[in-house]
Structure 1
Amino acid sequence: MTPTTAASRLRLPFFPPDLFEADREHLLRLVRETGTAPAQKFILGERTARFEQALRDRLGAADVVACGSGTSALTLVLAAMDVGPGDEVVVPAFGCAPLAGSVVALGATPVFADIDPWTMVVDPDAVERRITARTKALLPAHMFSVMADMPRLGALARACRLRLVEDSAVAQGGVQGGVPAGLAGEAGVYSFVQVKTFGTAGEGGAVVTRDVGLGRTVRMLRNHGQDGVHRFLHHRIGWNSRFDEVLAAFQLHRLPGLPERLERRARIAERYTERFTDLADRGVLAPPPGRDGRCFYVYTLQVERRDALQAHLAERGIGSHVYYPLPLPRQPAFSRYAAPGDAWHAAERAGERILSLPLYPQLSDAQVEYIADAVREFALAG
């Protein structure tokens, strides 16, 4: 079969269009049940409470607070820590905009630390060099399929008496040294946007924490500073970051199947790594192998001729994606927080080389091999 013929028969988008097809009828039933229930409770109701309790039980957390999005979860937890004007928060130079945006939104200053050139998560040594007398918190983030080095970052935070927030938006289900993603620091955040490992049919997120008091404050801040008991009594300035009852019920429905879906993602990632490990000297670098400290959200290569590989895959009907082509301090929104002459060499190099492959449970073994074959064909031909 020629590549052209194969591409016409195999269309493999980066994210599947049928993420929730198997659950469609159940979702429609939940919409009707919620919409016609006598209570007419559409946000922060009994289903949200049950969903939060289910996650608390699964994680062993002191509290889980469902929020409107992963981004708002970051803002809420930083606000609960009283991060504000005059404070600095050390964040990775490479990653999603909310890492810096949530800090700026509170009037604080993001300070950018470079990443490890292979794992592409923040380098603890670079973080330590960025700490000043104004630093109030560290905000590492898990990336792609690798978790940040939370044991080292936790030790650093304790030694310097800093707050530690774990951006685990892409890492739900990941475990590092026996600790679930989100619970290595004082608090972590999850994102439930559709394509995440525990995505839902809309938007949503959560704050997870071992600190009961911190959870109580976040719970207040997500609902305009109300305590959940006395309506229209506002203890603090807060936000509208309330969770949807339909989606809470939908997530409860899908939670029992999460381990199986995560296992499928992990097996696909392991197979990719098996196929790509010998390609490093051919300009295609696979992520580190193993399962501890891994979170199989997307599978991301570093490729010397990235754009050429992306075109090669597209010709064969395979979707791919370039995340974060610019480091955060090079983004117009955050460039004023970059000191003149400062550089983040590993982050800049990663932005030029990264290419993510399809990684979702719906992929068949044959499709996984087809994708791997296409990558190998490109690398070995070059």
Structure 2
Amino acid sequence: MKIPRYNHLAQFADLPATTDQIRHALATGDYILGETVARFEHRFADYLGAAHAIGVNTGTDALTLTLTALGIGPGEEVVTVANTFHATALAITTVGATAVLVDCEPDSYLMDLDALDAACGPRTKAILAVHLFGRSLDMDRVTAIASRHEIPLVEDCAQAVGAFWGGRRVGTFGAAAAFSFHPSKNLAAAGDAGAVVTNNPDIDHKIRILRGLGQDGQGNHVALGVNSKLDAIQAIVLDAKLDLLDGWNAQRRTIAARYARALIHPAITVPPPLQDPGDHVYHLYQVTVPHRDAVLAQLRSDGIDAVVRYPVPVHRQPAFARYRFDGAYPHAEYQAANTLCLPIRPDLSPADVDFICDRLTTAITSSQEGLA
């Protein structure tokens, strides 16, 4: 690929001390939890403006453990959005609850909040709100809906680390929030990693017990927990990168603005402008194009690592075939069939962006002529 989606080496260019810290951890046996993990947990909580952060194995575990800590289980419902990643709905079904899906909006592809409000009923025990692509939901409305229905709000912040709503970081609005540090994310570990963030000391205590095989003190197992601890080496990587995250996110916004200026083509729909009082960290830069699959194939042939997120909405995933989803999700279906994501990394140059835009408009013209 001429322009790959990721450049992991570039992320370590300004972090020469990280290798020495990892070598020290390997030499001392500081592998599981310990001071290294505690340091990152404290720093990440401070970065977000939250009271507690609990490092876990994955973002998926962060979601599942949060729902478990809230006591959500069989016979209960959790409302989320149809065009999210598989893990969001998987966490709901893993605790035995029923996922109730709502459609997304036709422009931002974020959760339709009118539909969210209507979907909350007597069996609804939580809202699982997803900040997709790096863009914040309207958290004034989401928190108001959760309050009106007297149910907890859980934020899925896997794609939105560092984003704001009204000057406040996402992940601090609900009962708890789940973060992923998968290598594809804006704050990327060198493997799988995740965290639960909360201001509630009871939830913090429960998650810490659950992540450590249900232990409350050595050998004292008080809950049916799991083994889901943030690896110390991943904590070293994340702690080093945390100081650079806001700068990287600012560079993503600059690149997104260049895309928006350059992609002036009647057949291309770019993401809507930033909403006030929202903020966007552009985990993904998603555009709507005609003849998407043909355009995608041409971009990849040109050496541009474009990708589709997500080609199959949750309600059409074979893994969820046994679950009955009663709603209609036309906007999620449209997104799945008509959008693609262009490369967006902090180190992309203006020339890279201009090349991508040129090849995209050429690919659209070629696809239209081929079908004429």
TM-score bracket for the superposition, by shorter chain length: over 0.9
What does residue range 185-264 of structure 1 map to in structure 2 within 5 Å? 185-227=174-216, 230-264=217-251
Please say if 1:343 is aligned against 2:334. Answer: no
Q: Residue 361 of structure 1 aligns to a residue in which SS?
A: coil
Q: Residue 47 of structure 1 aligns to a residue in which SS?
A: helix
Quote how far apart the aligned CAs of 1:117 are. 1.2
Aligned residue in 1 for 2:19: 28
CA distance in 1: counterparts of 2:3 and 2:117, whole angstroms: 42
Aligned residue in 1 for 2:41: 52
Quote how far apart the aligned CAs of 1:168 are. 0.5
Please say if 1:285 is aligned against 2:276. Answer: no
Quote how far apart the aligned CAs of 1:107 are. 0.7
Which residue identity is paired with 1:346? H
Of 282, 293, 301, 2:287 maps to 301
CA distance in 1: counterparts of 2:93 and 2:10, whole angstroms: 34
Aligned residue in 2 for 1:84: 73
Aligned residue in 2 for 1:266: 253
Q: Residue 64 of structure 1 aligns to a residue in which SS?
A: strand
Give the structure-1-normalised TM-score.
0.91
Please say if 1:167 is aligned against 2:153. Answer: no
Which residue identity is paired with 2:236? A
Which residue identity is paired with 1:57? D
Aligned residue in 2 for 1:70: 59
What do the CA deviations read for 1:291-316 (whole angstroms, capped 9, x no partner)? 72323101111122111221231232
CA distance in 1: counterparts of 2:178 and 2:325, whole angstroms: 29
Unaligned runs of 5+ in 1: 1-9
8 Å contact kept, 1:117–1:346: yes
Of 310, 313, 324, 2:299 maps to 313
CA distance in 2: counterparts of 1:64 and 1:337, whole angstroms: 33
Quote how far apart the aligned CAs of 1:339 are. 3.9
8 Å contact kept, 1:223–1:240: yes
CA distance in 2: counterparts of 1:106 and 1:179, whole angstroms: 30
CA distance in 1: counterparts of 2:270 and 2:323, whole angstroms: 32
Quote how far apart the aligned CAs of 1:378 are. 3.6
Which residue identity is paired with 1:287? P
CA distance in 2: counterparts of 1:325 and 1:231, whole angstroms: 45
Deviates more, 1:304-313 or 1:187-196: 304-313
CA distance in 1: counterparts of 2:39 and 2:354, whole angstroms: 40
* Count of residue pairs the alignment pairs up: 365
8 Å contact kept, 2:57–2:193: yes
CA distance in 2: counterparts of 1:170 and 1:266, whole angstroms: 14
8 Å contact kept, 1:145–1:300: no
Aligned residue in 2 for 1:353: 338
Which residue identity is paired with 2:328? A
CA distance in 2: counterparts of 1:13 and 1:136, whole angstroms: 41
CA distance in 2: counterparts of 1:76 and 1:17, whole angstroms: 29
What does residue range 312-331 of structure 1 map to in structure 2 within 5 Å? 312-331=298-317
Of 363, 373, 376, 2:348 maps to 363
CA distance in 2: counterparts of 1:178 and 1:195, whole angstroms: 25
Please say if 1:377 is aligned against 2:362. Answer: yes
Which residue identity is paired with 1:302? T
Quote how far apart the aligned CAs of 1:335 are. 2.7
Aligned residue in 2 for 1:5: none
8 Å contact kept, 1:111–1:337: no
8 Å contact kept, 1:270–1:289: no
CA distance in 2: counterparts of 1:338 and 1:323, whole angstroms: 23
Distance 1:175 1:344, change over 3 A: same
Which residue identity is paired with 1:258? L
CA distance in 1: counterparts of 2:281 and 2:324, whole angstroms: 30
Quote how far apart the aligned CAs of 1:20 are. 4.3
What does residue range 141-180 of structure 1 map to in structure 2 within 5 Å? 141-180=130-169
Deviates more, 1:345-354 or 1:306-315: 306-315
Quote how far apart the aligned CAs of 1:336 are. 2.5
**Runs ≥4 residues deviating over 6 A:** none
CA distance in 2: counterparts of 1:260 and 1:132, whole angstroms: 42
CA distance in 1: counterparts of 2:109 and 2:324, whole angstroms: 20
Q: Residue 136 of structure 1 aligns to a residue in which SS?
A: strand
CA distance in 1: counterparts of 2:93 and 2:131, whole angstroms: 20
Quote how far apart the aligned CAs of 1:23 are. 6.2
Q: Residue 158 of structure 1 aligns to a residue in which SS?
A: helix
Q: Residue 20 of structure 2 aligns to a residue in which SS?
A: helix
What do the CA deviations read for 1:11-56 (whole angstroms, capped 9, x no partner)? 111223535452686443233211211xx23111101001111112
8 Å contact kept, 2:22–2:236: no
| C-alpha RMSD of matched pairs (Å) | 1.8
Q: Percent identity?
A: 36
8 Å contact kept, 2:182–2:189: yes
CA distance in 1: counterparts of 2:244 and 2:6, whole angstroms: 19
